[in-house]
Copies of this chain bind each other. A is one copy, B any other.
Amino acid sequence: METLALYEKYLREISKLNSAVALLVWDQRTYIPKGGHEARAEVVGKLSTMAFEMAISDELGGYLEALEGQDGLSEAQRASVRVVGKQYRRTKAIPPALFEQYVIDRSKSEAAWEEAKENGDFALFEPHLTKMVDYAKKFAEYYGYEDCAYDALVDEFEPGMTCRELKTIIEPLREKLVPLLRRLTEDGTAPDNRLLAGSFPLDKQRELSLRALRTMNYDFNHGRMDDTVHPFTIGIAPGDVRVTNRFIETMPLSGLMGAMHEGGHALYDLGMPAEIQYLGLGNGASFGFHESQSRMWENMVGRSLPFWKMFRREVVDVFPQLSSATAEDLYRAVNVVKPSLIRVEADEVTYNLHIMVRFELEQALFDGSLAVADLPEAWNSTMEEYLGVRPASNAEGVLQDVHWSGGMFGYFPSYMLGNLYAAQLFAAIRRDIPDLDSRIAGGDTKPLLDWTRDKIHLVGQIYEPADLIRKVTDEPLSPSYFLDYIEAKYFPMYGL
């Protein structure tokens, strides 16, 4: 077992470097003074490179080779060898010279995207995006795949997921969701959210978010919330997982929902035992599973009536101008469904449609049926088809997301999978905790957290997502739970 001990020690050393990088990045996005950015980029670069070199070293390769198939490993140790080994092989598969050129071109692509978005000018971005697609295609060949090249990419974010399976999920979902949305918007009566109009001081909003995080049992001995431009959650180390948030004066509950979203991510990370994390299994089962935890707290809890029965008094306490609002009023006000152009502002009914647009286009880019030059038009017409709205400019259309500029193809489905996992998990939770609603309405979210902790958080990345969802819900992933959830919630709300 000597090799095992050396392997674990080696991973622990990598995790220390990653912990330092995490803090450097957290600071870059929260407190760093402007004049610190230049030197910081170099420091992050150095430590990231050191961690990267350790993660592809022959030393690690030797440990992995010795441990693969070795008897006497625990389940977590076997999973570690599987997960770390897979990442090792993927990274080693790319010729270093190609990867180096990719990193350089990626920086240029990200910069070009920023400028293109600012000017709504796709032409500025097009040659860079073409390069990024070409790189991704090459990488997919190096990684290897059975069916579509896209599978090799999506596997990075959702291990074991394939384009074929995604299609079997997406197509039936879209066939129901598109008419459902039309019915809501055309035949239904939208909730009134005018009570949220006005100006709400940022420090009060911040206070409200802190209270929501406490309600979720997010432990401030193990985390904190700070302001940032783009909210995110970051694990600095086991026992130190921080969220960030932003607040907009005219959107009093937007920061609150952001806090619950990030809080859900943070609870996942905090729920993974240190020994799991130090085995390289601390990222959660998949990006989709991670997103399920954030979406569950944001939507299934934060946009539910039981939550507002409990949380109304906090809102009124912080914003006395809302004291005439009932729990029902607030519940309705945060659940307006409205097809819009921007994914990150989408409600929970339309959100998955935004993802489907992107999935459709990614598919077409990678099977060769769509050229990058034709992307803007394809984007606009698919938006119109799925959501019934058409961007007037590329800034509000194909240029809105950063992901592609950084070569991240196959990432978007994670967002949708998160919504679907969340609904399926929540249905299972309801079966196991029949009085869940009244517990939440009474301010007690602990049973919910405990359920997710026991079944999902504790095991980290030990299981692949397809196995985990089957393990904890006795079924493979199915979009029907999400559809049921949406119908049960929105039809009555919209008077249908």
Which chain A residues have a beta carbon within 8 Å of chain B's beta carbons? Answer: 13, 16-17, 19-20, 23-24, 27, 31-36, 38-40, 42-43, 46-47, 219-224, 226, 236-240, 242, 274
A262 to chain B, nearest CB (A): 15
Assembly CA distance A39 to B237 (angstroms): 6
Residues of B within 8 Å of A237, CB to CB, are 36, 39-40, 43
Q: Which of B13, B16, B39, B224 contacts A19 (CB 8 A)?
A: B39
| Cβ–Cβ < 8 Å partners of A236 in chain B | 36, 39-40
Residue of B with least CB distance to A274: B39
Across-interface contacts of A226 in B (CB, < 8 A)? 31
| A58 vs B167: C-alpha distance when bound (angstroms) | 59
Chain B residue contacts of A239, Cβ below 8 A: 33, 35-36, 38-39
Asked if B46 contacts A240 (CB within 8 A), the reply is no
The interface centre, meaning the residue of A33, A40, A42, A222 with most chain B CB atoms within 10 A of its CB, is A33
A222 contacts B27, C-beta separation under 8 Å: no
Pairwise interchain contact B33-A222, C-beta atoms closer than 8 A: yes
List 30 contacting pairs A-B, 8 Å CB cutoff, sorted by A.
A13-B46, A16-B42, A16-B43, A16-B47, A19-B39, A19-B40, A20-B20, A20-B24, A20-B47, A23-B24, A23-B27, A27-B27, A31-B226, A32-B240, A33-B222, A33-B223, A33-B239, A33-B240, A33-B242, A34-B221, A35-B223, A35-B240, A36-B236, A36-B237, A36-B240, A39-B236, A39-B237, A39-B240, A39-B274, A40-B237
| Residues on B with beta carbons closer than 8 Å to the beta carbon of A20 | 20, 24, 43, 47
Chain B min CB distance to A196 (Å)? 29
A29 to B176, CA, bound (A): 54
List of B residues within 8 angstroms of A36 by Cβ: 222, 236-237, 239-240
Once the chains are docked, how many angstroms separate the CA of A83 from the CA of B34? 31
How distant is A105 from chain B, measured CB to nearest CB, in Å? 25
Most-contacted residue by chain B among A24, A223, A237 (CB, 10 A): A237
In the complex, what residues of B have CB within 8 A of residue A222's CB? 33-36
Asked if A39 and B223 sit within 8 Å, CB to CB, the answer is: no
Which residue of B is nearest A236, CB measured? Answer: B36
**A242 to B221 Cα, complex, angstroms:** 24
Q: Contacts A20-B20, A23-B24, A24-B23 known; A221 to B43 CB distance under 8 Å?
A: no
Q: Given the complex of chains A and B, what is the CA–CA distance between A52 and B34 in angstroms?
A: 29
User: What B residues does A34 contact at CB under 8 A?
Assistant: 221-222
Cα distance, A35 to B220, chains bound together (Å): 9
